[in-house]
Structure 1
Amino acid sequence: MFLTRPSPGLSSSALFLRRMLSTRPSISRRKPLEPLEVHLTPQEENVCRLIDEFCQTLNQDVTDGEPVACRIAGGWVRDKLLGIESHDVDIAINTMTGEAFAQKLLDAGKVDSIGTTIAVNPDQSKHLATTRLKIHDFWVDLVNLRSETYTGESRIPTIEFGTPQEDADRRDLTINAMFYNIHSRKVEDFTGRGIDDLKAGIVRTPLEAKTTFEDDPLRILRCVRFASRLGYTVEESIAAAAKDPTIQKALDNKISRERIGEEIDKMIQGPDPVYGMELLHSFGLLPIVLRPTAQASSTSSGAPLSMDYALRGIIIIELLLRSEEHLPGVHPLLLSSTLETHSTQARLRIASILTPFRGLTFEQKKKSIPLVDSVIRDGLKLGGRNHYLDGIPHLFRSAELIREAFSTTFATESRAEIGMLLRHPSIHNPIIGSEWKSSALFSLLQELVDCWEGELDTAKATECIQKYNKLVEKIVELDLTEAIGAPPILNGKQVCETLKIRPGPQMTPLMEKVVYWQLEHPGATADECQAWLLEQQAQGALGITNNAPESERTKKKKKKE
């Protein structure tokens, strides 16, 4: 039995949302080449020839025991059979470690140098030393065939030299368990199902799914990621095992949050993140992979929304980015920065699945922190890449500001008022990778999420999109598109020199006045702004004093002089 799309177990609202996407072609299922062959590049051919000939030389001295044999393992074989170029070459050796084989190559003068040996590191899921080697300007990783035995609560296995069969059986999926024999130049499928599953588009574990996941629960997420990446269906026993409470507990307790975050990040940046999130939701895994720390949860200002909202979020962002015919098109300007920047798309997608935590805060050192911060920092440990940690909390804040402004600031025709709001650091801040356009798009997403209660209120959704399109039209009409990101016409030093004041806390409101004036007077010059400042100062309208206290930095500088 196999899971087909949509996945069973989805809530009614999630199923409705998936039907919204049913008219768009999902990603094409990756099909293997016909005939089923591995085509080597010239570089790969050179590497295989060198290793084959070297093994023949080594085997001349083997009088007892198994001759040395090398196989390219795993993902490279899968990708080659699918017609996908891959540079991730792992060579598995049957009778010695990768480090020992690399040293023999070096001693024989077959390579100039050995790269790095990546030592055993259980925290990074590195249970076996891997040696990197450069052959003819082509990097390969050398490992030995192995068998793995897991015991107790640990996901750190006992590793021994293994046979090709044992090595294939301990891998996550049948389609990832095939070898390319460097000597015979043939694909070897020791599970007996890898090639058939590749042809049929099936994600299946080599051994019983529950046993595979008990050994390493991270493989659940890898199953989902490869299914969504390749457009494959998931074998039913995987779904049953993934829903098992003991397996879910093991995933939560045995797997580092870094590894969970890494899988989610790869999934969300893949060709069909919706399918990946559907599978996780149907397996009941979203509360495990998307969670703050226990401390943050205990001081949270409220309970998160249903995980349906995570699925709604990712589906809606895909609807918007793909300009689905079910809804009015989003203004092209609103989409421009997102479609052009990979990191912005990744950030919006991760933010969309964190919708259940919007508006919630937790207490930390007597400060209120957005709960999404804990999910990103501690639950997924995504850090600063793609501005996840510093950017996503601001996306949620920007959505609140923009949503509120429709009944206040945006209802006016004031260029300065609208411009100042859109220059808010949570809305437009290149330092954290955000632009007002992507912030407005995320705000629209948050409003559309609320247009579903079991089914889509298309009239409400249409009205919402049109509201945002009109806002963009107003921004264009007011010639604000570039002004939102323009630097102040006078910098802080120039303002101080003009007003003959010292730098200090008063500079923040002063610079805001400068920017406000700048927005009110498009095309004005710096000289005109300086004249205005002096006039305002003479009238006492700036609320400043010429005798502002010296900063500590200035005092120290004078003391040194």
Structure 2
Amino acid sequence: MPVRVRAIRPQLDLADVLDALGLSAVELHLDAFLVGGFVRDRLLGRESKDIDLVVVGSDGVPLLERVARKLGWARPAVFERFATAQVRGGGFVLEVVQARAERYDPESRKPDVRPGSLEDDIARRDFTVNALAQRFDGRILDVTGRGLDDLRAGILRTPLDPVDTFSEDPLRMFRAARFVAQLGFRLAEGVEEAMRAMAHRASILSAERVREELSRLLVSEHAREGMEVLRRTELLEVWIPELLPMVGVEQGGWHLYDVWEHSLRAVELAPVELVTRLACLFHDSGKPRTHAIAADGRHTFHDHPRAGAQISAAVMSRLRFSNEETSQVGALVLHHMWPIQYRPGEVGDSAVRRFIRTLGELRPRILELARADTRASAYPDVEAIDELERRAAELDAGSQVSRLRPPLDGHELMERAGRGPGPWVGRVQKALLDAILDGEIPADDAVAARRWLDGHPDLLGGD
């Protein structure tokens, strides 16, 4: 019987996609340009598969349709509300818009749009480094006359007056902070002052857009400086005022920095993963609320993890993070002191088993949070945290602790007690699990569990 062999499409590289775009533009007689972050990143030597295009005098949909046919991709999606079209394939995302001029309603981010020239389209962009255009033959068009110089110098400058730029679209201020974090650029003279003057305009933004910019900022290389921009420009005061009391709160002990600076340094030292970095941002946010000075002059922060978990939940709910992300960050903040306070030789196996059970799948993240927390202080090493990781892995070999289940089900418990269902069943099962964690009952040993219950008759008869 003959074997059918499916043809494997060769993997496309960037040159293939750009050749298809350029050829399609010529065939359709379109005045099309590469623009925005793709041009910026390409000139910086940063690889990107997100390609932004502007077409003058046309909506650009025919361009994407022809490219899709050439490359064997699905038809482009057209977003009439935003006057854009997009096509995806081979890991690339191509988005096109007709060159346009915009004027914004002061009470919203919705612009009044009309067709425009390339110069009009460039003028509406946020920063000169994002206002560069490129022809398919490689020629760069620096319409503002400052984009290339600003790119070389690492400066974020608005094409027009920054007050007008940020007043028209306040999201650009959050983008400025994000670009500082992503690119390591600095703000041009007058930009920070304009952001501070227009910070109140950020109140019209949707929570989802603010969340998106904050998330991208936090997983960037220079997240600390990006967050500092948000603080200095008073944008935090508009959207996340709960973080501001952290500034200037001394900690003492091994700490070198105030709570704010320490938390930002922990963010940058954490793995590039959003939930862990959010947990680093919030892990000590409860310290200002719980700060006290003991009789011996020590700074104390009793129960600050619980206060911090409450703050993270409030902020993340406001910014419309998912319930899962909010829950995960809250759990990490609530329990972040456990690995920090762990001392080998002083903590028994039962306590480590409880740690494993409590954190579940978050265990790798809380250990990374603890390492970042420690390294953002003067504490000499993270050897105890590394030892805890090894010990937990040994105790949880085969997931025998993290996936532990009560050895007796509810039906058997009700039969033994001669009682109907109720909250008491869950309490008995928890007691059985606690006994396993304490080493009093072997895991998955129903006979031993029944003997243990015989020795604790109050559990079956209690309310």
Q: Identify whether the pair has TM-score above 0.5, normalized to the shorter chain.
A: yes
Q: Does 1:394 align with 2:331?
A: yes
2:276 and 2:369 in contact (8 A); partners too:
no
The Cα of 1:290 is off from its aligned counterpart by 1.3
Question: How do residues 67-82 of structure 1 correspond to structure 2 at under 5 angstroms?
Answer: 68-82=30-44
The letter of the residue matching 2:94 is: V
Q: Does 1:45 align with 2:19?
A: yes
1:174 and 1:205 in contact (8 A); partners too:
yes
Q: How many residues align?
A: 421
1:314 and 1:352 in contact (8 A); partners too:
no
Separation in 2 of the partners of 1:187 and 1:179?
Answer: 6
The Cα of 1:286 is off from its aligned counterpart by 2.1
Structure 1 residues 159 and 398: CA distance shift in structure 2, 3 A: same
- Higher relative contact order (Cα pairs below 8 Å, separated by 6+ residues): 1
Structure 1 residues 159 and 100: CA distance shift in structure 2, 3 A: farther
Structure 1 residues 199 and 522: CA distance shift in structure 2, 3 A: farther
Give the one of 367, 384, 388 matched to 1:469: 384
Separation in 1 of the partners of 2:162 and 2:290?
Answer: 38
Identity score, percent: 20
Separation in 2 of the partners of 1:265 and 1:277?
Answer: 11
What residue is the counterpart of 1:222 in the other structure? 175
Q: Does 1:487 align with 2:404?
A: yes
1:498 and 1:530 in contact (8 A); partners too:
no
2:266 and 2:280 in contact (8 A); partners too:
no
Structure 1 residues 388 and 69: CA distance shift in structure 2, 3 A: same
Separation in 2 of the partners of 1:269 and 1:388?
Answer: 15
What residue is the counterpart of 1:364 in the other structure? none
Question: How do residues 52-451 of structure 1 correspond to structure 2 at under 5 angstroms?
Answer: 52-55=26-29, 68-99=30-61, 114-120=75-81, 128-133=82-87, 139-182=93-136, 184-244=137-197, 247-251=198-202, 253-291=203-241, 305-306=246-247, 309-319=259-269, 321=270, 339=271, 342-352=273-283, 354=285, 370-378=310-318, 380-384=319-323, 387-399=324-336, 414-420=348-354, 422-423=355-356, 425=358, 428-430=359-361, 434-435=362-363, 438-439=365-366, 442=369
Separation in 1 of the partners of 2:92 and 2:185?
Answer: 31
Give the one of 512, 517, 520 matched to 2:435: 517
Structure 2's unaligned 5+ residue stretches are 1-12, 249-257, 292-308
What residue is the counterpart of 2:449 in the other structure? 533
Structure 1 residues 118 and 356: CA distance shift in structure 2, 3 A: farther
- 1:493-512: CA deviations, max 9, x gaps? 69649958765423323223
Separation in 2 of the partners of 1:226 and 1:413?
Answer: 45
Separation in 1 of the partners of 2:14 and 2:70?
Answer: 24
Say which SS state the counterpart of residue 149 (structure 1) adopts.
strand
What's the TM-score once normalised by structure 2's chain length?
A: 0.76
The Cα of 1:203 is off from its aligned counterpart by 1.4
- 1:229-253: CA deviations, max 9, x gaps? 1111221211111121xx01111x2
2:283 and 2:336 in contact (8 A); partners too:
no
The Cα of 1:525 is off from its aligned counterpart by 5.9
- 1:290-322: CA deviations, max 9, x gaps? 147xxxx9xxxxx95448644431213435x4x
- 1:309-348: CA deviations, max 9, x gaps? 44431213435x4xxxxxxxxxxxxxxxxx5x83553443
Separation in 2 of the partners of 1:441 and 1:401?
Answer: 12
CA RMSD of aligned residues (A): 4.1
Separation in 1 of the partners of 2:189 and 2:172?
Answer: 15
Separation in 2 of the partners of 1:117 and 1:478?
Answer: 50
The letter of the residue matching 2:320 is: K
What's the TM-score once normalised by structure 1's chain length?
A: 0.64
The Cα of 1:52 is off from its aligned counterpart by 1.6
Structure 1 residues 109 and 401: CA distance shift in structure 2, 3 A: closer
Separation in 2 of the partners of 1:538 and 1:135?
Answer: 65
Say which SS state the counterpart of residue 76 (structure 2) adopts.
strand
